[in-house]
């Protein structure tokens, strides 16, 4: 087993994830993994960074596939005895004008952005080493979607005592409510992406609380963040930030120094803690 530190970025064959790997290759003192659900796209990303003089490594990871997550978990356990930095970046969004039925968009979006991200956390958080850093890439859209929820839902999502099980049930209820055509009546906003990112932000708050309760002495810091509006395949060419600029806040959180005890359990945008 090697004593080398290790960082993993999900969904890093392109976009913000690739830019996060680029920055970590320059600043993180250890191995940095590009992960991709498609090995070909992942290896192409590695080759691109190699041309820039960087030395990322590659491992397959489809966050929709529990088996794939577990293969990565076992690899990290065996090769490194754990994990120092985890950036949950992988995500999807239907285009605004996509005509796919809303209930299908809800199921597909929640499957990756919330349930996939949660499965990665369930499998990899126990591997986090002392002073580890976890970054869950959410979105400012989670805040606007929260404001679009009923008062009752807002109260639940802002609660300091909501459990992971309760959150999972709420996310599953959203999908069910869209299938029955009652999501608006049930107090949900009309955005599947927004609800999925509410899930990511609230999950981060819960996980940070659990780390406080169960691993206080390990100084692990876990936060959700928004990268900003970034020119990628997801957001399009009109967005204001380059992918490297979009990577700045996630990388800042991934590299918080060992002397830091904050931010933790926060939603961070432009390197600033935002109210939830």
Catalytically annotated residues: 193
Cβ(127)–Cβ(73) under 8 Å? Answer: yes
Which is nearer to ligand NAP, 17 or 263 (by Cβ)? 17
Query: In whole angstroms, what separates CA 124 from the centre of its chain?
Result: 13
As measured in angstroms, the least distance from the Cβ of 130 to ligand NAP is 27
Min dist. Cβ of residue 201 to ligand NAP (A): 11
Q: Choose between 139 and 266: whose C-beta lies nearer to ligand NAP.
A: 139
d(CA 4, CA 262): 25
Q: Which is nearer to ligand NAP, 88 or 178 (CB)?
A: 88
Phi, psi of 33 (to 5 degrees): -105, 120
29: its two tokens: 């003192």
Least distance (Å) between residue 18 CB and ligand NAP: 7
Least Cα distance to 235 among 110, 155, 133, 137 occurs for 137
Q: Which residue, 62 or 107, has its beta carbon nearer to ligand NAP?
A: 62
CB of 268 to ligand NAP, least distance (A): 12
**CA-CA distance, 240 to 38, in Å (whole number)?**
28
Whichever of 44 and 260 has its CB closer to ligand NAP, that residue is 44
Contact 45, 12 (CB under 8 A): yes
Between 87 and 153, name the residue whose CB sits nearer to ligand NAP.
Answer: 87
* Tokens coding 246: 């979009």
| Contacts with ligand NAP, residue ranges (CB under 6 A) | 10-11, 13-17, 36-38, 41, 61-64, 89-93, 112, 116, 137, 139, 226-227, 229-230, 232-235, 239
Q: Minimum distance from CB of 213 to ligand NAP (Å)?
A: 27
Question: For the chain, what's the residue count?
Answer: 276
Residue 249 CB, nearest approach to ligand NAP (Å): 10
């Amino acid at each position: 087993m090697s004593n080398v530190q290790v960082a993993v970025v999900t969904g890093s064959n392109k976009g913000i994830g690739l830019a996060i790997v680029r920055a970590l290759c320059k600043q993180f003192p250890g191995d940095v993994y590009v992960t991709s659900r498609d090995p070909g796209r992942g290896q192409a990303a590695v080759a691109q960074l190699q041309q820039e003089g960087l030395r990322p490594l590659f491992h397959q990871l489809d966050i929709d596939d529990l088996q794939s997550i577990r293969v990565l978990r076992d690899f990290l356990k065996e090769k490194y005895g754990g994990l120092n930095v985890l950036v949950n970046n992988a995500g999807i969004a239907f285009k605004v004008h996509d005509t796919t039925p809303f209930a299908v968009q809800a199921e597909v979006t929640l499957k990756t952005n919330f349930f996939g991200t949660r499965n990665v956390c369930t499998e990899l958080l126990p591997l986090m080493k002392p002073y580890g850093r976890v970054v869950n890439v959410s979105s400012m859209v989670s805040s606007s979607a929260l404001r679009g929820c009923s008062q009752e839902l807002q109260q639940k999502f802002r609660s300091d005592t909501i459990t992971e099980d309760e959150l999972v049930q709420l996310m599953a209820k959203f999908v069910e409510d869209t299938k029955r055509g009652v999501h608006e009546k049930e107090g949900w906003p009309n955005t599947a992406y927004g609800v999925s990112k509410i899930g990511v932000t609230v999950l981060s708050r819960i996980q940070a609380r659990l780390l406080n309760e169960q691993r206080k002495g390990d100084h692990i810091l876990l936060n959700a963040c928004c990268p900003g509006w970034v020119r990628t395949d997801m957001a399009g060419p009109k967005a204001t930030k380059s992918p490297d600029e979009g990577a700045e806040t996630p990388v800042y959180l991934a590299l918080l120094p060992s002397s830091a005890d904050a931010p933790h359990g926060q939603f961070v945008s432009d390197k600033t803690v935002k109210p939830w």
